[in-house]
């Protein structure tokens, strides 16, 4: 059994890399145990195969230095916060015991993404209830904190993680999913992700959010709950280098 401090839960095998790859690298660098849970195998994707995408996910996991990467195996395009899905996710949470969960943006326009955001929130609470899923009830955990990556909708971030030192590795992890991005030699159908400039757009996005906190690159998050701050002076007087 591998316990983790922070678990990223996203729909498809490349979603983690596209959204929170820099944060996961940074957390690993700070000494935390990191994990990923891909909810589906991406079988409805326009490009690639299930087997090929699984191999790409393993290659990306090595770049991200993840301690564990698993796939929940729910059906791509048919993910809901139903009872069987909640129970499956609770079992994983109780086994890995994360303290922090990263996941999709609330109300994301992709149905799987939006449903998973809610599924994660519900499972996080249910994982703390001993009488939910008695099979694993004795392994109940404290409710993990959920942070939603901001990607598809304009939302004011609760916080932004400085990933300046990890941007290159993040982009390398994204490119490990070769079947999903620009390849002039590919004969498969084109998608928004396969456009020649898409990866440049992603890098520009990281640089934009970094500029909001005075650094080279950042990843933004929204937290629905009020944050308990121990020392507001220390928090609010951290140097931002906005004018350096």
Q: pLDDT by residue (tens digit) across 181-216?
A: 888 888 788 888 888 899 999 999 999 999 999 999
How much of the chain is in helix, strand and coil states, percent to nearest 5? Answer: 40, 15, 45
Domain boundaries, the chain: 6-236
Based on its alpha-carbon atoms, the radius of gyration of the chain, rounded to whole angstroms, reads 18
User: Whose CA is closest to 155, among 220, 202, 205, 216?
Assistant: 220
CA 64 to chain centre: 12
Query: Cα-flanking dihedrals φ and ψ of residue 173, to 5°?
Result: -65, -40
Positive or negative: CA dihedral 49, 54, 58, 61? positive
Give percent above pLDDT 90 in the chain. 83
Range of lowest pLDDT (41-45, 67-71, 154-158): 41-45
| 237 — pLDDT class (breaks 50, 70, 90) | confident
Please give the structure tokens belonging to residue 242. Answer: 């906005």
- The CATH code of domain 6-236 reads 3.40.50.10320
Mean pLDDT computed over every residue of the chain: 94
Measured CA angle at 51 (ends 46, 52), to 5 deg: 65
pLDDT given for residue 244 in this prediction: 43
């Amino acid at each position: 059994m591998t316990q983790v401090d922070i678990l990223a839960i996203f729909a498809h095998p490349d979603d983690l890399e596209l959204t929170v790859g820099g944060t996961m690298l940074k957390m690993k660098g700070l000494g935390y145990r990191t994990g990923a849970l891909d909810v589906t195998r991406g079988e409805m994707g326009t490009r690639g195969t299930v087997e090929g995408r699984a191999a790409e996910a393993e290659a990306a996991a090595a770049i991200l230095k993840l301690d564990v990467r698993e796939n929940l195996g729910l059906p791509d395009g048919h993910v809901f916060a139903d009872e069987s899905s909640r129970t499956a996710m609770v079992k994983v949470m109780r086994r890995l015991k994360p303290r922090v969960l990263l996941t999709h943006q609330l109300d994301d326009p992709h149905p799987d993404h939006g449903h998973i955001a809610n599924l994660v929130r519900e499972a996080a609470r249910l994982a703390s209830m001993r009488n939910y899923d008695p099979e694993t009830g004795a392994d109940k955990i404290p409710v993990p904190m959920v942070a939603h990556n901001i990607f598809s909708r304009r939302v004011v971030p609760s916080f932004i993680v400085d990933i300046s030192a990890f941007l290159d590795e993040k982009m390398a992890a994204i490119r490990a999913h070769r079947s999903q991005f620009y390849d002039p030699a590919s004969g498969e159908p084109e998608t928004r992700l396969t456009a020649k400039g898409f990866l440049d757009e992603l890098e520009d996005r990281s640089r934009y959010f970094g500029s909001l906190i005075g650094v080279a690159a950042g990843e933004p998050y929204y937290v629905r709950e009020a944050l308990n701050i121990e020392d507001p002076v220390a928090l609010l007087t951290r140097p931002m280098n906005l004018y350096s």
